[in-house]
Amino acid sequence: MSGPHGYAVRVAEDPADLEACFAVRKEVFVGEQGVPEDLEYDAHDAGAVHVLAVREDGLPLGTGRLLYGEAAADRNGGDPSVGSLGRLAVTREARGLGVGVALVRAIEEAARARGLAAVDLHAQTQALGFYERLGYVAYGPEDMEAGIPHRSMRRSL
């Protein structure tokens, strides 16, 4: 999938793509937001579907991941038809180019391809408007994750 500003979004298949995904997450979550590195990476990374946005010259711009099946059970109330979108991160330089939207849509497409009926996510409260514009609906109370307020959200596919 190509973006309008000279980037492409793809499923991260090889080790170099996965390294790029983790580098973006480290830059955004660990570097900018102060999330402890041991909280940022977890056992779910190994089985997740990771998506990567890259500029035409190969520079990574953003990433996100989809959990499904057993890996998503603790995030979706145990409903096997619901996937979990997470770890969505866009580099500072790429913000405002539509990268986040393209990543969310790529994750939703990966969820559809796996037969999922909906996608849940745990959004930082400051990002609720972004996800609402993409059709996600907040539910449940606000809670803290890595010292940052979050809300659960869901979108039917």
Q: Is 50 exposed, middle or buried (0-12, 13-18, 19+ CB in 10 A)?
A: buried
> Are the C-beta atoms of 55 and 18 separated by less than 8 Å?
no
Tens-of-pLDDT digits for all 157 residues of the chain?
Answer: 555 568 999 999 999 999 999 999 999 999 999 988 888 888 899 999 999 999 999 999 999 999 999 888 888 888 999 999 999 999 999 999 999 999 999 999 999 999 999 999 999 898 999 999 999 999 999 998 878 899 999 999 9
Q: What does the pLDDT look like over 62-104, one tens digit per residue?
A: 999 999 998 888 888 889 999 999 999 999 999 999 999 999 9
Which amino acid appears at position 90 of this protein? Answer: V
Cα–Cα distance, 65 to 20 (Å, whole number): 13
**pTM of the complete model:** 0.91
Phi-psi region of 150 (alpha: psi -120 to 50; beta: other; left: phi over 0): beta
